[in-house]
Each structure stands twice: as structure tokens, then as C-alpha cells.
Structure 1
Amino acid sequence: MLTVDFDRLGVGAGTKAIDIGAGQGRHSYEMFRRGADVIAFDMSESDMTDVGGMFDAMMAEGQVPASAKARAEVGDALHLPYADNSFDVVLMSEILEHIPSDDAAIAEMVRVLKPGGLAAVTVPRYWPEKVCWALSTPYHEVEGGHVRIYKASELAGKLEEAGLEVTGTDHAHALHSPYWWLKCAVGVENDGNPLVKAYHKLLVWDMMSAPALTRKGEQLLNPVIGKSVALYLRKPGAAEAA
């Protein structure tokens, strides 16, 4: 389940990319499949161990081009262990809403992105997220949970102040908004609820089968109730002009 459109980022063979806050690696895997030299970066040692193992398995099964490279590294998004202007593409997907010092995380992202490089930042969309917060306190008041709700214009302003240009905005995962509203209404830990179980089964079927009906339906609904908003960005500089 991808939130980011990697065609818009031009990810391909030889692209040097980092997925900051990679989690379980869904976006890192896609960049690896496209032939990138990718780093999955996250503070969770267990997640990065799993992601590194999956990278190895993908290579062994021939799922990636021979020239592609990937590694998983553990660290702090506020103190990235990379030189300035290191990456062609930087991704931060569904991470900023968890970080109290979001300005510092954004500054680090901008620092390691090359002039002329591209980035994507995704967060939960404002109004679907507001519904979740209204329905359930445990949804967000948990360790490592969401500390803020962004308006897209607010986030765009932060990114522009940090030195990036916003080149586009998109929405994703409309089918997931009602699922989370339902979970918040019945209890976020109540996975045994019949309605929650039935909706989860639908989502899994949709992700595995990708039927034309639901794919088209979600495409139409994304601008209205998409769970996530994605901002596409460029770092100005000499490389861009070249």
C-alpha cells in the first residue's frame, strides 16, 4: 500500500534515496524494486532488522535489478548521520505527525537533499484525522502516537520556509478513512468487532487483488476523504538548473 507516487519523484536506476521513518519498509521496497540505491532509516531496531532481511530476500529472489542497492540503518531523524546534499530523493511518509520537533526533522531532511533533488512528505489529512481524534482519545494519546494534526497549507508553509518548493499535492487511501472512523467509534483496540473485522477483510482483499472497481472508486474518493495528503517538493539549486 503506497502513499507516494514514485513516478513523480523520478525514482529509477541509480537514484540515491533515503526513506526517513521507514517503519516496515513499504516505500523502501518499492524504490529498491525500481533500481534505486536506497537507505531505509528508522529509530526502531526491530523494524530495521526486518527490513534488512526483506532486502536480502528480494535480492535472492531476483526481484530487483542487479545494480540496485539497499540497506537498513537505525538512527534519529533529528540527527541524520549523512553529509549535506547526499540524496537525490528524500521521503518522509507518515512520520512528522509523531515528532514534537517537526521543524528540526524538516531541516535535517532539507540538509541531506541535494540541490535540484526531489522529496515527498505525507501526513494524515486534516479533516479525516480530526474525526478520529474526536471519536477516540486513545487513537492519538499513546506512546509514540500523533502529536498534531496538520492542515496541508500549514505543512506546505513549513516546508517552504525550510527552503523547499512545493510542486504538487495529492491525496491517498480514501477507503481507509471510514475504517479508522469505525475503529475509533468502537474502540481502537477492539479488533474483534464484527464490523471492524469485515472492513479489514475488505481492505486486505482490495490490496491483494486490486480490482478495477475499488481502485477506480478510491481514485474518485481520494480528493474527498483521502486519509493521507502527500506534498511533492523540490530543493532549488545549481543541479536543478543544470
Structure 2
Amino acid sequence: MLTMDFDRLGFGAGDRVIDIGCGQGRHSYELYRRGAHVTAFDQNADELDEVKVMFGAMAEEKQVPESATAETVVGDALSLPFPDEWFDGVIVSEMLEHVPDDASAIAEIARVVRPGGTVAVSVPRWLPERVCWSLSDEYHANEGGHVRIYRASDLAASLTAAGLEVTHTHHAHALHAPYWWLKCAVGVRNDDHPLVRGYHSMLVWDMMKAPRTTRVLEQVLNPVIGKSVVIYLRKPQTGIGGPGAGRGAH
């Protein structure tokens, strides 16, 4: 289940892209399939071990172009171990809401993307997230949990202050918002509750089959209750001939 619109991002063969806070790797895998040079970055070494195994399986099964590369790097998003302007693109999906010092993380995001490069950031949307927090303390008040609820305008302002320019926004995963409301209402760990189990089965069916009815329904509902907000940005060009010059803009 992808949160970012990869057709809009336009990443492809030869692009150097980092997926910060990659988790289980869903966006990293899509980048790899599209031929990018992928860095899957996370602080969770165990999850990255699984991502690395999947990268190997994808290459072995020839699901990726021969020119594509993929690596996993364990580290801290507040101190990325890469040079300035190193990447053509940066993806940060559902990570910043976990970071107390999000200003430092945003500064690092802006630092490592080249002039003319693309950044995509997603976080839980204010309204669906506020409902979850109202229904359950357990949903967010735990180690590694969500430390804030973003308004899209505030996040966009923080990203702009770091030197990035907003190019587009949209919402995603409207059908997932009621699922999390149900879990918060009955207990976030109560996966055996009939309503939760039934709704989860529907979501799995939808992801596997992608029927037109639910795809259209989600598109209609996304502006209203989309679970995530996605902000697309570009780092302004600062001159000709600097790092990354000659690689395609997206």
C-alpha cells in the first residue's frame, strides 16, 4: 500500500533516492522496481534486515532493472550519514510524527537533497488523527508513538522554512481512517474484535483486488477523511554545475 504518488514523483532509472524511516520497506521496493539507486534508511536494524532480504529476492527474481541498486543503512534521522546534496530525491512517509525534534529531521531532509531534487513527506492528517487521540491514549502514548498531530499548513511552513518549495499536496487512505477509529474505540490491541477483524478483512481484500468501486469511493473520501496528508516539494536550483547537475529534474 503506497502513500506517495510515484507517477507524480517521477523517480526512475539512475535516480539516487533515500527512503527515510522506511520501516518495512514498501516505498523502497517501489523505488527499486522503477530502477532507482535506493537507500532504505531506518533506526530499526531488525526491520532493515528483512528489507535487505526482500531486495535480494527482488533482484534474484528479476523484478528490477539490472542497473538498479539497493542498500540498507541503519542510523538516526537527526544526523544522516550522507554528504550535502547527495540525493536526487527524499521520501519520508509516516515518520516525522514520531520524532520529538522534527525541526532537526526536516533540516537534514533539506540538506541531503540536491538543488532541483524532489522531496515527498507524509504524516497522519489532523482530523482522523485527532479522533484517534480522543478515543484512545494507548494509540499514541507509548514508546516510539506519535508525539504530535500536524496541521498540513504548519508542516508545509516548517518544510518551506528549511528551504524547500511546496509543489503539490493530496490526501490518502480514507478507507483506513474508520479502521483505526474502530481499533481505538475497542482497544488498539484488540484485533479479535468482530468489527475490527471484519473491517481488516475488507481492507486486505481491497488491497489485493483493487476493485473499481472501492477505488472510486476512496478517491471521493480522501479529501474528507484521508488518513494521511502528502506534501510534495522541490529544492530550488542554486546555480549550474553544482552537486547533482545533469541529473533529471522531477
State the 1:26 CA deviation: 0.2
CA distance in 2, matches of 1:182, 1:22: 26
State the 1:147 CA deviation: 0.0
Unaligned runs of 5+ in 1: none
CA distance in 2, matches of 1:189, 1:176: 16
User: Residue deviations 1:41-89, cap 9 Å, x none?
Assistant: 0000001000000000000001001111001110000010000000001
State the 1:7 CA deviation: 1.6
Q: Which amino acid aligns with 1:173?
A: H
State the 1:22 CA deviation: 0.2
SS at 2:192 equivalent: coil
Matches within 5 A, 1:14-163: 14-163=14-163
State the 1:102 CA deviation: 0.1
Alignment-derived partner of residue 10 in structure 1: 10
Q: Which amino acid aligns with 1:20?
A: I
CA distance in 2, matches of 1:64, 1:241: 26
CA distance in 1, matches of 2:86, 2:161: 21
Alignment-derived partner of residue 173 in structure 2: 173
CA distance in 2, matches of 1:125, 1:107: 22
User: Residue deviations 1:150-198, cap 9 Å, x none?
Assistant: 0000000000000000000000000000000000000001001000000
TM-score by length of 1: 0.98
State the 1:241 CA deviation: 10
Q: Which amino acid aligns with 2:133?
A: W
Runs of 4+ aligned residues of structure 1 deviating over 4 Å after TM superposition are 239-242
Unaligned runs of 5+ in 2: none
CA distance in 2, matches of 1:101, 1:79: 12
CA distance in 2, matches of 1:160, 1:138: 33
TM-score by length of 2: 0.95
Q: Which amino acid aligns with 1:164?
A: L
Alignment-derived partner of residue 226 in structure 1: 226
SS at 2:199 equivalent: helix
CA distance in 2, matches of 1:152, 1:33: 30
Q: Which amino acid aligns with 1:176?
A: H
For these two proteins, the number of residue pairs brought into alignment is 242
Q: Which amino acid aligns with 1:105?
A: A
Q: What's the C-alpha RMSD, in Å, of the aligned pairs? A: 1.2
State the 1:6 CA deviation: 1.3
State the 1:9 CA deviation: 1.5
Structure 1 residue 235 corresponds to structure 2 residue 235: yes
Q: Which amino acid aligns with 1:187?
A: G
SS at 1:23 equivalent: coil
- Segment drifting more, 5-14 vs 147-156: 5-14
